[in-house]
Amino acid sequence: MASHRKSRTPGTRVAGIRTPALATAALTSVALLSQTADAAPGEDRPSLEEVEKKVDDLYRQAESATEKYNAAKEKTTKQRKRVDTLLDDVAQRTQKLNEARAELGSYAAAQYRTGAGMPDTATFLLAETPQDVFDQRQVLDRMTGRQKAAVDDYVTQQTETMKKRQEATESLRTLTETQGDLKTAKATVQKKLADARELLSKLTAEEKARLAAIEKRKQEEAARKAAELARQQAEQQQEREEAAQQGGGTSESSGSGSTGSADTPPADTPPADSSYAAKAEKVLAFARAQIGKPYVWGATGPGSYDCSGLTQAAWKAAGVSLPRTTYDQVNAGTTVPVSQAQPGDLVFFYDDVTHVGIYIGNGMMIHAPKPGTYVREESVYYDGDSAIHSIVRPA
């Protein structure tokens, strides 16, 4: 069973998920075989393992770019809302500034018509900044109370308007940057997928058959490990029930056959209570209803999903709001041992936390695997023990 690891900040390693079944092996085969098509007779051709690794790297890079796209899209959306709010505020404050300016203008006009000395208020209408106004202190001293109040209002509106205009300018600059990040991530994903399609078009029937056989054996091994996890969890449940009957409370045994820190529960790990079970039931009902819908990078439903889009939507159906990306979802709950995973828990994969599925019990999960596939049930060991990063219990 995979060792339990602490979550890490995504970054340096190439992200992604393993390409399951025939498509994964096929794409990899094409990639390497196309590179060696012109090799001289007698040169070594890549092994099937090397072929498979090549396509894994390709799709992990695409998955990493997808999560970066999701993060940039979310940030862009929030920043655009902020810019819109600031621009509305600037418009309202500009209106108030114009009203204050009009009031000062009325005083200036009255002074001019009556010939009552220097048109003092006109001096402030020529001021370009609040500091310019305060620099006219000797004029301010000669004003009436109402005139001074009008000047104070004008200065306040001018100060706030300039401040909001500056905030809006800075927010627009940030929005431009996030839109650039969004565009870059989108281009990266599209490039990886285009490369995959090109490689797939060069695959031979013989290569497909050979690599499909290898993938089938891996799926059988993943199913065997899922059954072993299910057995361990059943033993744990039986031990807890027996301990409860004997008055000993809930057993903290990790179950026979468990090894590594992933199977040693932290002291503060809470058990899944009835409230969680009720939420998880809604999560699983929603997830099962999405089976068969296509994976589309950046999608959050209802017609298609990417991996984190599916988990976010499923938990939303249970009234729980999860962050958008795998990088944030991994910190949105309590980490539990793999051996104590309960239906509804999130299963995260790879050291850079770039894939996630929903645990449904018996070592199985529902997830949106990769471009070209559909939402489906699959063993949590679909990419081997070491691929599992952590189990997180939301809510």
* 3-state helix vs strand vs coil in the chain, percent to 5: 60, 10, 30
95: CB partners within 8 A, 6+ apart: none
Given 73, 355, 370, 393, the catalytic residue: 355
* Three-state secondary structure call for residue 79: helix
Beta-strand (E) ranges in the chain? 333-336, 346-349, 355-361, 364-367, 376-379, 388-394
Tell me, what amino acid is at 244?
A: A
User: Is 91 an annotated catalytic residue?
Assistant: no
Whose CA is closest to 385, among 319, 346, 339, 340?
339
Given 71, 90, 262, 307, the catalytic residue: 307
Backbone angles phi, psi at 305, to 5 degrees: -150, 155
CA 72 – CA 85 distance, rounded (Å): 20
- Provide the sign of the torsion angle of the four alpha carbons 57, 63, 69, 74, taken in this order: negative
271: CB partners within 8 A, 6+ apart: 250
Given 54, 367, 370, 393, the catalytic residue: 367
User: Is 389 an annotated catalytic residue?
Assistant: no
Whose CA is closest to 289, among 307, 308, 302?
302
First to last CA, the chain: 26
User: Is 355 an annotated catalytic residue?
Assistant: yes
* Three-state secondary structure call for residue 241: helix
| b/e burial code for range 57-94 (CB count within 10 A of at least 16 → b) | ebbbbbbbbbbbbbbbbbbbeebeebbeebeebbeebe
H helical segments located in 126-204: 130-134, 137-140, 145-200
Could you tell me if 337 and 268 are in contact, meaning their C-beta atoms sit under 8 angstroms apart?
no
Q: Where in the sequence numbering do the catalytic residues fall? A: 307, 355, 367
